[in-house]
Every structure is written in structure tokens, then in C-alpha cells.
């Protein structure tokens, strides 16, 4: 397992770096993540396709999300109403697929940053625990909206006023 690397860097240096390796920018530091494994990418792509099927939404497995306080994050998947641009300013929802190297970043550091940006939903897929949690932003705090696991693998999730998606955890993780 590779660890995250934090490299001091100006905003201008960050903008001049190539897209690969995958890196975010947080408070004057490039946060470089190891490349996701195939299964991780597959789950993100399936969720992006699910969001892409909702009228008016564009699903993506990746994308630079500009957050308050000099931060750029790259969620594993997202849904937005803005299909183009270098930075996505206001996604409707973001998804993180947990992995050993990014688990604490995804569970501790990113949720308050996503909340501060006013992102409506935060989806957390944990392949090791075989679960998916959907959290809704309510009064600046994340509140559980839905949870899927092996006992309850299928259900519907409303994505704000945009529509409803049917989630099948078994298809996401095993299919």
C-alpha cells in the first residue's frame, strides 16, 4: 500500500503540473494519491454512469472540484449540472470509494470541506465493509440518508430535486 504524499507547492505550480499523477491541492500542498486499483475505478465508473442517466445531471468518475479555502479535491465520482470546465465549482454530489491509503483523508478531512462547499450529498463506498452510505447536507452537517450493505443491497436514493436512482450494491461491488 502506498501512502499519500504531501508536497509544498504554490497555486501556479499546481496549475502547471501534468494531470498524472493524480493530485489534489490543499492549503499550499499537492496531495498526491496512488493510482486507484481496477476494482476501485470500476465502482466509481458504475456510479458515474448511474448519475449520468438522471436528466440534467452529468456523472463523472473524477474531476477537479474547487472548494473554499484554497482547496481542490478529486472525488472518485461526482454528479454535476456543469458539464465542462477546468474546475467544477458546485457538484450536486461527490463519491469517495475508500481504500487503505486514502481512508482517513476520505472520512476525516474531506467531509467538512465538502460541507463547507455546500455540496448536497456525500456518498461513501467501503468495499472492505461491503457498504455504501449516502449522506445529505442539512444545516451544514452530514446526516445519514441511506445505507446499503449485504443485508439491504438495493434501494432508491433521491438526488435532491434532480431525480431518483436505484442503487444495487451487489452490482456495484460484484457485478
Distance, CA of 64 to CA of 73 (rounded, Å): 6
Distance, CA of 71 to CA of 172 (rounded, Å): 29
Q: Which fold has domain 36-173?
A: tt1808, chain A (3.90.1570)
User: Is it the case that residue 1 has pLDDT exceeding 50?
Assistant: no
Distance, CA of 44 to CA of 24 (rounded, Å): 17
The percent of residues above 70 in pLDDT, for the chain, comes to: 88
Model's pTM, two decimal places? 0.83
Q: Are strands 93-97 and 121-126 parallel, antiparallel or unpaired?
A: parallel
User: Which of 7-16, 70-79, 144-153 holds the top average pLDDT?
Assistant: 144-153
User: Is it the case that residue 20 has pLDDT exceeding 60?
Assistant: no
User: Is it the case that residue 35 has pLDDT exceeding 70?
Assistant: no
Mean pLDDT of the chain: 88
User: Is it the case that residue 129 has pLDDT exceeding 80?
Assistant: yes
Amino acid at each position: 500500500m502506498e501512502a499519500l504524499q504531501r508536497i509544498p507547492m504554490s497555486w501556479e505550480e499546481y496549475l502547471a503540473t501534468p494531470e498524472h499523477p493524480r493530485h489534489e491541492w490543499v492549503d499550499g500542498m499537492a496531495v498526491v494519491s496512488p493510482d486507484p486499483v481496477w476494482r476501485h475505478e470500476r465502482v466509481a465508473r458504475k456510479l458515474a454512469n448511474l448519475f449520468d442517466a438522471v436528466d440534467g445531471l452529468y456523472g463523472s468518475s473524477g474531476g477537479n472540484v474547487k472548494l473554499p479555502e484554497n482547496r481542490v479535491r478529486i472525488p472518485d465520482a461526482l454528479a454535476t449540472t456543469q458539464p465542462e470546465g477546468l474546475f467544477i465549482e458546485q457538484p450536486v454530489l461527490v463519491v469517495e470509494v475508500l481504500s487503505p491509503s486514502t481512508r482517513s483523508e476520505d472520512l476525516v478531512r474531506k467531509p467538512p470541506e465538502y460541507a463547507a462547499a455546500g455540496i448536497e450529498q456525500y456518498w461513501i463506498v467501503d468495499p472492505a465493509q461491503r457498504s455504501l452510505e449516502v449522506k445529505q447536507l442539512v444545516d451544514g452537517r452530514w446526516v445519514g440518508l441511506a445505507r446499503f450493505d449485504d443485508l439491504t443491497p438495493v434501494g432508491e436514493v433521491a438526488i435532491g430535486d434532480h431525480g431518483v436512482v436505484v442503487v444495487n450494491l451487489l452490482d456495484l461491488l460484484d457485478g
